Amino acid sequence: MNILLYLIPIALTLGLAGLGAFFWAMKSGQFEDLDGAPHRVLRDDDEAN
């Protein structure tokens, strides 16, 4: 059962990484405009810069 000593921290770290990524996304304003974002992807007027 020693494998648990590795697996449990790995599982928890992965989970925490996901949680951290979510908080980062929230903080950087990625959930500010949920209505506009799905339409932006359809616009092909991006400039080359």
Partner 1 sequence: MTTRPFIIAEPDGAHSVNLLVEGMHCPSCVAIIENALKKQEAVLAARLNLSTKRLRVTWTGPEALGNTWASLINGMGYRAMPFDPATAETAEKKEEKFLLRCLAVAGFASGNLMLFSIPLWSSDSMEMGAATRTFFHWVQAAIAVPAIVYCGIPFYRSAYKALSQRKTNMDVPISVAVILATLMSLFETITHGTHSYFDSGVMLLFFLLIGRYLESRARGRARSAAHDLLQMMTGFATMLHENGTQETIPLSEIKEDMVLLVAAGEKIGADGVVIAGESEIDTSLITGESQPRAVQVEAALFAGTMNMTAPITMRVTKAGERSLLSEIITLIECAEQGQAKYVTLADRISSWYTPAVHALAAATFVGWMMLGNVVWQVALLYAATVLIITCPCALGLAVPVVQVLASGKLMRAGILLKSGSALERLATITHAVFDKTGTLTLGKPTLTSHHSHAQLCLAASLAAQSKHPLSQAVMKAYAGPLLPLTVTEIQGYGLESGQVKLGKRSWATRLDDDGENMVELWLAEEGNPPVRFTFADQLRTDAKTVITSLQSAGIKTLLLSGDRQEVTKNIAQALGITAFEGALSPIQKTEKISSLKASGAKVLMVGDGLNDAPSLASASVSMSPASAMDITQNAADIVFHGDRLQPVLTALRTAKFSQTLVRQNFLLAIGYNLIAIPLAVAGMVTPLIAALAMSGSSLLVIANAMRLNARKG
Q: How far is the CB of 47 from partner 1 (least distance, A)?
A: 8
Cα dihedral 40/26/17/38 (nearest 10)? -20
Q: How far is the CB of 19 from partner 1 (least distance, A)?
A: 5
Q: How far is the CB of 41 from partner 1 (least distance, A)?
A: 11
Question: What CA–CA distance (Å, rounded) separates 18 from 24?
Answer: 10
Alpha-helical (H) ranges within 1-49 are: 3-27, 37-40
Which residues in this chain contact partner 1 in the complex, by CB under 8 A?
Answer: 1, 4, 8, 11-12, 15-16, 18-19, 22-23, 26, 31-36, 39-40, 43, 45, 47
